[in-house]
A and B are shown apart, each in its own frame.
Chain A
Amino acid sequence: MTKWMFAGMAAVALAATPGTARAPVTGQTAGNFALTDMSGKTVKLSDYRGKTVVLEWNNPGCPFVQKHYNSGNMQKTQAAARADGVVWLTINSGAPGKQGHMTPAEAQAFVAKAKAQPTDYLLDPKGVVGKGYDAKTTPHMYIVNGAGNLVYQGGIDDKPTADAADIAGARNHVLAALAEIKAGKPVSVAETRPYGCSVKYAS
């Protein structure tokens, strides 16, 4: 009787293991999620099945995000992607009280002021999607292809500095990957080290 008790308890204990965040694996299915956007609408990744989706982790207070927004590089990249029918989702996983956290109204104001061109700006204040994708920095970029597989994760380009002058000479990994996807080729550089400020999760 006690043996079953022990086994049962062990089973319960193990079943209660909280899901440990594991980095999404390149080449495998990207996790689906549902978040509220800056207008209050619920947006799911699966809504865009069939299209290439770019996920951009954002924090307007981070100097590395500012490098790409103030210079117009991020907006140009977004525009180029969307011109090809790519869906661009900017995600903010800043926890309330931390740097970069935005209310829906603040998010709308930011997008308008920066003349940003995402398809939508999603708010993830609990950090669930951020942790699910193991997003570490802002910016941190992910590309999901039409079949729902993750084909790129990493930095936006290969010059990890806060100096906007470095953008011109850098390889924009996102544009390069999108071009390869459009041409039907496999993404040559599928994983790079992201750079930026840490995502301001609650804990």
Chain B
Amino acid sequence: MQRLLFMFVTALLALLAVPVAAQEIGAGPHVAITLDAETRTPAAGQNVTLAFVSKPNKGWHGYWKNPGDAGVETKLTWTLPEGVTAGALRYPVPERLLIAGLMNYVYAEPFAQLVDLTIPAGLAPGTRLPIKVTMDYLVCTEEVCVPETQDFSTELTVGDGAVSAAKRAAYDGYRRAIPRPLNAGATWSVTDGAFQLVVPFPGGAAAREGYFYPLTNGAIDYAAPQLVSRRGDLLVVETKAAGGKGVSGPVEGVLSLRGAGGFVVTAQQGAAAAMPAGEAEGAGWATALWAFGGAVLGGLLLNIMPCVFPILSLKALSLARAGGTETQARSEALAYTAGVVLVCVALGAVLLGLRAAGASAGWAFQLQDPRVIGLLLLLTIAIALNLAGLFEVATPGVVNRMAAEGSGGAFATGALAAFIATPCTGPFMGAALGAALLLPAAGALAVFAGLGLGLALPFLLLGFVPALRRLLPRPGAWMETFRHLMAVPMFATALALAWVLGRQAGVGGMTLGLAAALLLGCALWWAGRRQARGAERAWLPALPVIALALVTAGLVRQAPAEAKGAEAVAGAEPFSEERLAVLAKEGRPVFAYFTADWCLTCKVNEKAVIETAAVKDALEAKNVAVLVGDWTDGDPALGRFIEQHNRAGVPLYLWYRPGGGAPEVLPQLLTQDMLVRRTRA
């Protein structure tokens, strides 16, 4: 009876507990927002920047201007004093959240949205300006959504517009997160359901991984993966076009590039750029078959790669030695093939999983990271030293034992071979595999399976064609010599990788990589000597040194962008407002221009106009001071100066006549004549 009562009470409590837990979202705003002003004493006739500094609660997120597949845009309702106007809300670059196949552009981390208020000229200092604003926004967890409203008010007093250093630093931080305008003449096109965005972007500018966040609705399928690739001076984004009637007219959005920042891009409708072979969605039967065939060939070639050879030579040996029945040979060959294909398909599935999770698929970008190249260098050196006989890897012994265990052993050998082969495929097959990831899931997996098939092919043939087995040379001393010889192409590969590293990370980076290789070599030598002596756990003391080598390789950093050629004009100095003031006092005319590595128009103007002999001579002759502002890293101080003269960012060309005063803003498409004429004026 007591037990029954106990059970009943427990059940009742459980029933009661469930609904409470389900509604545990808590009351009140789920985003802590404060309205802050850069200065409380703005000057009349100027702008003051306000910031909505937001911190979503843990597990909650706010939304970007375009919320994605679901959600709504934030709405502001201002109550402003007479004459004061508020600009549009400026959003920092968002993050992606893909839930159940629906894409959301959100902010899960603290963020700040900026708004510029314009204070009318003619207001007397001391005038009070009460500012009120109501913000209606949506904040959600992955489960529920709550539309919220918050009211803010602040009071500004017309004054001198002075900004404290602390505030300046904070707001410069907020400004860094806001995407910059990229005036590049981008174009978009849709072909067979595939959307392509082509953005002129200098090939020399650093950028890794990218994503295009669209502001225009109805252009792209938000949840579809994007492939961002670079072809010369173009950056191309390929993804799936949205279903439905599509859009006509300009497509606007934010291009977020790791290493370069966020850029606002407005693309006009244009013609499709030539696609590379084996690309976008909708690739039919034929392309998939070609990709499959190519992968089989690639797999076949992998067999002679020094990475894989040691494993395979042992396998071949065991096959030849086995001398078992036909069926045994065949089943072993099939088991081996199964092992290889399975591991390759698993690798493909992992990459497809990454793609589906919203990561942009692009092996080309990974290989641009000097640390990846550094690690590959270490791997190649290790394999080369192993082939040279400096040390032994325990695995071949294991493989030997496994090889003797029939089909099960053959399967394991196959899996191991595929596993070892994949780092080798990286540098050589990167582009092909990257293209395979663009195919629909089944097609991509078929390509990976083809790779496995090609890799396993020789042994498949050996298992099924007894004549071939008889052709296998008898094991002997020649195998050792061959193995030593294979070390040579391996060292050559290491050399090539060191060269790539040098190009990416400069001489310093290459030296760091080679130092890591030296450390690794010493560690392996030590281990090899201990092995030769028959010492127990030969590897143990070498492991910390190997770890050190890996850390050293990880320290390699991308080299700063190549120096901008020889200084364009004799005596060109970096821009700063102080220098500008000094030069104005000296009575020199000043030509100030602002550029960035990622601004193609800037680079074109520099090559075609500013750095030409005619212009250089004219500027020198009239003692024109040249100031260059490099906005590549988005320096907010420069950004503020640029915005004052041109909301559209760079390029910006300013001509200051002798004696100071307001500058003349030159057109973004410069001609030599424009500059030469002004020197004469």
Chain B residues near A161: list those with CB within 8 A: 72, 75, 136, 147
Say if the beta carbon of A22 comes within 8 Å of chain B.
yes
Name the CB-closest residue of A to B145: A197
- Whether A6 contacts B292 by the Cβ 8 Å rule is yes
Say if the beta carbon of A198 comes within 8 Å of chain B.
yes
- Whether B70 contacts A6 by the Cβ 8 Å rule is no
**A131-B101, A161-B72, A198-B99 known; A25 vs B289 contact (CB < 8 Å):** no
Query: Which B residues, 37 to 83, have Cβ-Cβ distances below 8 Å to chain A?
Result: 69-73, 75
- Whether B101 contacts A203 by the Cβ 8 Å rule is yes
Say if the beta carbon of B143 comes within 8 Å of chain A.
yes
Chain A residues near B145: list those with CB within 8 A: 62-64, 197
A137 in complex: contacting residue of B70, B217, B440, B449, CB < 8 Å: B70
- Whether B442 contacts A16 by the Cβ 8 Å rule is yes
Chain B residues near A62: list those with CB within 8 A: 145
Say if the beta carbon of A18 comes within 8 Å of chain B.
yes
Interface 9-residue window, one of A7-15, A31-39, A77-85: A7-15
Nearest chain A CB to B377 CB, angstrom units: 35
A191 to B143, CA, bound (A): 27
A196 to B104, CA, bound (A): 12
**A18-B441, A63-B146, A63-B147 known; A198 vs B69 contact (CB < 8 Å):** yes
Name the CB-closest residue of A to B70: A198
Say if the beta carbon of B100 comes within 8 Å of chain A.
yes
A161 to B293, CA, bound (A): 53
Nearest chain B CB to A164 CB, angstrom units: 11
Chain A residues near B122: list those with CB within 8 A: none
Query: Which A residues, 92 to 108, have Cβ-Cβ distances below 8 Å to chain B?
Result: 95, 98-99
- Whether B288 contacts A136 by the Cβ 8 Å rule is no
Say if the beta carbon of A147 comes within 8 Å of chain B.
no
Interface size on B, residues (CB 8 A): 40
Contact string against B for A residues 122-152, beta-carbon threshold 8 Å, 1 for contact and 0 otherwise:
0000010001001011000000000000000
A17 in complex: contacting residue of B243, B442, B453, CB < 8 Å: B442
Chain B residues near A153: list those with CB within 8 A: 244
Say if the beta carbon of B12 comes within 8 Å of chain A.
no
A134 to B222, CA, bound (A): 12
Nearest chain B CB to A136 CB, angstrom units: 5
Name the CB-closest residue of B to A163: B136
Contact string against A for B residues 113-156, beta-carbon threshold 8 Å, 1 for contact and 0 otherwise:
00000000000000000000000101010011111000000000
Say if the beta carbon of A21 comes within 8 Å of chain B.
yes
**A160-B72, A200-B143 known; A6 vs B296 contact (CB < 8 Å):** yes
A99 to B99, CA, bound (A): 13
Say if the beta carbon of B580 comes within 8 Å of chain A.
no
A136 to B218, CA, bound (A): 13
Contact string against B for A residues 163-203, beta-carbon threshold 8 Å, 1 for contact and 0 otherwise:
10000000000000000000000000011010111111111
Say if the beta carbon of A111 comes within 8 Å of chain B.
no
Contact string against A for B residues 523-544, beta-carbon threshold 8 Å, 1 for contact and 0 otherwise:
0000000000000000000000
Chain A residues near B293: list those with CB within 8 A: 6
- Whether A22 contacts B446 by the Cβ 8 Å rule is no
Name the CB-closest residue of B to A22: B243
Nearest chain A CB to B456 CB, angstrom units: 12
Nearest chain A CB to B276 CB, angstrom units: 21
Interface size on A, residues (CB 8 A): 45
Say if the beta carbon of A20 comes within 8 Å of chain B.
yes
- Whether B101 contacts A21 by the Cβ 8 Å rule is yes
Chain B residues near A64: list those with CB within 8 A: 145, 147
- Whether A191 contacts B72 by the Cβ 8 Å rule is no
Say if the beta carbon of A40 comes within 8 Å of chain B.
no
Say if the beta carbon of B265 comes within 8 Å of chain A.
no
Say if the beta carbon of B445 comes within 8 Å of chain A.
yes
- Whether B143 contacts A99 by the Cβ 8 Å rule is yes
A196 in complex: contacting residue of B70, B296, B450, B453, CB < 8 Å: B70
Say if the beta carbon of B443 comes within 8 Å of chain A.
yes
A136 to B104, CA, bound (A): 11
- Whether B146 contacts A136 by the Cβ 8 Å rule is no
Name the CB-closest residue of B to A203: B100
Name the CB-closest residue of B to A13: B446
Chain A residues near B453: list those with CB within 8 A: 6, 9
A64 to B101, CA, bound (A): 20
Say if the beta carbon of A75 comes within 8 Å of chain B.
no
- Whether B104 contacts A198 by the Cβ 8 Å rule is yes
Say if the beta carbon of B6 comes within 8 Å of chain A.
no
A107 to B122, CA, bound (A): 64
Say if the beta carbon of A73 comes within 8 Å of chain B.
no
**A10-B292, A163-B136, A193-B217 known; A23 vs B243 contact (CB < 8 Å):** yes
Between-chain CB contacts (< 8 Å), 8 pairs? A6-B293, A6-B453, A14-B446, A17-B442, A64-B147, A161-B147, A191-B244, A193-B217
Given contacts A137-B69, A161-B136, A162-B138, 15 further A-B contacts (CB under 8 A): A6-B292, A9-B449, A10-B450, A17-B440, A23-B242, A23-B244, A98-B143, A134-B243, A136-B69, A161-B147, A191-B244, A197-B144, A198-B69, A198-B104, A199-B102
Taking Cβ atoms with an 8 Å cutoff, the residues of B that contact A are 69-73, 75, 99-102, 104, 136, 138, 140, 143-147, 217-218, 242-245, 285, 288-289, 292-293, 296, 440-443, 445-446, 449-450, 453
What 10 A-B pairs come out closest when comparing CB atoms?
A23-B243, A162-B147, A198-B70, A201-B100, A13-B446, A17-B442, A197-B145, A136-B69, A137-B70, A198-B102
